[in-house]
Amino acid sequence: MRDFWRTSEKRAAVNKAEAQGLVADSMEVRKALVKKLQSGEMTLAEVQAELKRIQRNAKKNGQITRSQAWNRG
């Protein structure tokens, strides 16, 4: 039961960070990449490379990744 509440708190922390615009690879960014993949605009390898680039540049841009938001939560 304790794990459930801890997970809920972490999920809320990620959602809050995304709402504040602190997360570089937010769900909106990820959904946009998936749309490009599904429309054929980008290949899977290109989408994966773009996501890695976004995550790598997050700190330079004063942002964090979803993983970092999860771990801080």
- Residue for token pair 């960014």: 29
Give every CB contact of residue 57 below 8 A, 6+ residues apart in sequence: 24
Give every CB contact of residue 69 below 8 A, 6+ residues apart in sequence: 13, 14, 17, 18, 22, 23
Q: What is the pTM of this model?
A: 0.84
Query: What is the count of structural domains for the chain?
Result: 1
- CA 32 – CA 48 distance, rounded (Å): 12
Residue range 9-61, pLDDT digits in tens: 999 999 999 999 999 999 999 999 999 999 999 999 999 999 999 999 999 99
Domain that holds residue 29: 2-72
Give every CB contact of residue 29 below 8 A, 6+ residues apart in sequence: 54
State the greatest distance between any 2 C-alpha atoms of the chain, in Å, as a whole number. Answer: 44
